[in-house]
C-alpha cells in the first residue's frame, strides 16, 4: 500500500521540527591535556616567511614548585589534543601569573622574550618579581628589584615618559603579617640601552591599584588622552587615572590626576578584571569589568562619558549569579574576561568569562547584536568543573581555519580544556 503525499508532508514536517528542536553546543570540545596545577594561558604570535603560528604560554601554581612552559605551534597539535605536552622553560618562579610575550621594540631584539609577573599572597610565595627571559630558553633577568615582598600579576608596555622606549606598566601588592594590604601602580623605566644586567628604575604612579588595570587612549574633544583604568581588588573601587602633562609624560607625578568610576559598597564584590573596548559598537569606549564575589559575582559595563574627567560613567549589569564552588578561603567568582572575535563590525562581540572559583566558563551573547542601546545578554556555560578553579580562558584562531579556539585552565584538575567556536 502506497502512502499518500499528505503522509509524506506530515512526516517531513515532524522531522524538520525534531531537527529544529535539537540543542547545538555553543562551543565544541576538542579535548583536554594534562598540566599540573594549571594557572594561566596566553599566546605568542609568531610571524615569519612560513606564515603565522601561535606558541602557547602556560603557567602553574605549585606549593612546592611552579612552572612556566610553552606549547610550540599549538595549532598544529589540535588533531590530538590529549597528546599535547608543554615544554618547561622556567621552574624557578614562585607563583607565575599572566605570562605574556613582549613587543620586539621593548628590547630591540630579534630574540623573542616573555615577561613573567610572579608572586602571590600565599605563604612562601609573597616575594615576587617581574622577570624577562627568552621564550625558547636562556638566562632570566629581574627588572623589578628585590626590595620588599611584592607580588605582580600583569604588565602592559607603554612609553610612559615619552623618550621613545616602551616601559613596563604594572601594579604590585603585598600583605604584611600585621596590618593592611599595601598596593601601588608603578612603571619600570626601560633604559636606553635596554640593559637587563640590573633592575630598571621604579616610578610610583599611585597607591591603591593592586592587580589588574587597562591602559588606553580616549578621544576627548578631538584629542587623544592616555588613561589607565584600575580594577582595585583589595580595597574595592574602580578608578581612572590620567596626566595633565601636555606631552602626556607620566614621569611628572605632580600632574597625575584620578577619580572614582565606582566606589563599591560591601557586598557588591571586588573588581577583578578590566578590558577597555567599544563593547556595544556605538563608536565610544566602554569599560568591561568583573566583580568577584563568593555568592553573586557579576559582569559589568561602564560607558565612557564625553569627558571622562567629569562625566558620569553609566553602569550596566550584563551577567550575574556567579558563585564560588571550591569551598576555599576567600574564594569568589567570576575572574578574567575576553571579547570573542566578531568579523561583522556592525555586531556587538560576545564575551568569554572565566568563572574562577565557580569552576564555570561562560559565553555571553548579545540578545540584540546590532542594537547598541540594548544591554541584554544570553549566558551559556560551556564548562562546569564544579570543584576546580578556572584561572583563565583565552581565545585565538591558532590553526587559522577561521574558527577560534578557547583554551581553559583548570587548576584542581590539573588540565587544560580546548574548545572550538
Query: Mean pLDDT per segment of 10 residues, for the chain of length 421 residues?
Result: 41 38 70 97 85 94 92 97 97 95 94 96 90 91 86 97 98 84 96 96 97 97 96 95 98 98 88 98 98 97 97 97 93 97 95 97 98 98 95 96 97 97 95
> What b-and-e string marks burial along 20-36, b requiring 16 or more CB atoms within 10 Å of the CB?
eeeeeeebeebbbbebe
Q: Beta strands 223-232 and 351-354: pairing type?
A: unpaired
Burial status of residue 254 (CB atoms within 10 A of its CB: 0-12, 13-18, 19 or more): exposed
At residue 303, the pLDDT reads: 98
Residue 334 preceded by cis peptide, ω within 30? yes
160: phi then psi, degrees, rounded to nearest 5: -75, -35
Which of 254, 142, 245, 273 has its CA nearest to residue 203? 254
335, 409 in Cβ contact below 8 A?
no
Residue 179's pLDDT is 77
Q: C-alpha grid cell for residue 117?
A: 609577573
Q: Are 156 and 217 in contact (CB under 8 A)?
A: no
**pLDDT attached to residue 46:** 85
Q: What is the pLDDT of residue 49?
A: 64
| Helix H or strand E segment including 106 | helix 104-107
Rounded-to-10 torsion of CA 279, 280, 282, 285: -20
**In sequence order, what are the residues at sequence separation of 6 or more whose Cβ sits closer than 8 angstroms to the Cβ of residue 294?**
323, 324, 331, 332, 333
> Under DSSP, is residue 345 helix (H, G, I), strand (E, B) or coil?
coil
Among 338, 410, 339, 396, smallest CA distance to 55 is for: 396
Amino acid at each position: 500500500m502506497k502512502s499518500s503525499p499528505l503522509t509524506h508532508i506530515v512526516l517531513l514536517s515532524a522531522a524538520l521540527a525534531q531537527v529544529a528542536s535539537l540543542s547545538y553546543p555553543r562551543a565544541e570540545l576538542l579535548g583536554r591535556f594534562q598540566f599540573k596545577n594549571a594557572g594561566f594561558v596566553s599566546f605568542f604570535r609568531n610571524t615569519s616567511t612560513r606564515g603565522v603560528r601561535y606558541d602557547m604560554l602556560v603557567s602553574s601554581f605549585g606549593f612546592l614548585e611552579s612552572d612556566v612552559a610553552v606549547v610550540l605551534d599549538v595549532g598544529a597539535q589540535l588533531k590530538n589534543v590529549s597528546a599535547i605536552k608543554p615544554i618547561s622553560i622556567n621552574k624557578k618562579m614562585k607563583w607565575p601569573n599572566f605570562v605574556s610575550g613582549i613587543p620586539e621594540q621593548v628590547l630591540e631584539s630579534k630574540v623573542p622574550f616573555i615577561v613573567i609577573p610572579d608572586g602571590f599572597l600565599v605563604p612562601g610565595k609573597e616575594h615576587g618579581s617581574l622577570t624577562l627571559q627568552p621564550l625558547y630558553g636562556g638566562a632570566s633577568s629581574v627588572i623589578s628589584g628585590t626590595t620588599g615582598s611584592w607580588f605582580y600579576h600583569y604588565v602592559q608596555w607603554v612609553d610612559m615618559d615619552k623618550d621613545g622606549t616602551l616601559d613596563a606598566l604594572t601594579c604590585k601588592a603585598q600583605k604584611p603579617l600585621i596590618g593592611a594590604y599595601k598596593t601601588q601602580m608603578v612603571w619600570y623605566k626601560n633604559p636606553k640601552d635596554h640593559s637587563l644586567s640590573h633592575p630598571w628604575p621604579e616610578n610610583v604612579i599611585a597607591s591603591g591599584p593592586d592587580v589588574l588595570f587597562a591602559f588606553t587612549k580616549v578621544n576627548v574633544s578631538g584629542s587623544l588622552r592616555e588613561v589607565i583604568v584600575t580594577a582595585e581588588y583589595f580595597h574595592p573601587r574602580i578608578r581612572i587615572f590620567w596626566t595633565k602633562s601636555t606631552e602626556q609624560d607620566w614621569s611628572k607625578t605632580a600632574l597625575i590626576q584620578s577619580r572614582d568610576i565606582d566606589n563599591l559598597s560591601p557586598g557588591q564584590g571586588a573588581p577583578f578584571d578590566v578590558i577597555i573596548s567599544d563593547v556595544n559598537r556605538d563608536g565610544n569606549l566602554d569599560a568591561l569589568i568583573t566583580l568577584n564575589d563568593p555568592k553573586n559575582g557579576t559582569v559589568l559595563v561602564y560607558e565612557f562619558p564625553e569627558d571622562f574627567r567629569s562625566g558620569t560613567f553609566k553602569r550596566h549589569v550584563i551577567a550575574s549569579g556567579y558563585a564560588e564552588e571550591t569551598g576555599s578561603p576567600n574564594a569568589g567568582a567570576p575572574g578574567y574576561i575576553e571579547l570573542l572575535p566578531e568579523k561583522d563590525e556592525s555586531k556587538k562581540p560576545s564575551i568569554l568569562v572565566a568563572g574562577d572559583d565557580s569552576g564555570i566558563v561562560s559565553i555571553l551573547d548579545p540578545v540584540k547584536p546590532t542594537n547598541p542601546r540594548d544591554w541584554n545578554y544570553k549566558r551559556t556555560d560551556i564548562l562546569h568543573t564544579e570543584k576546580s578553579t578556572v584561572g583563565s580562558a583565552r581565545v585565538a584562531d591558532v590553526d587559522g581555519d577561521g574558527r577560534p579556539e578557547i583554551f581553559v585552565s583548570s587548576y584542581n584538575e590539573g588540565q587544560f580544556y580546548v574548545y572550538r567556536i
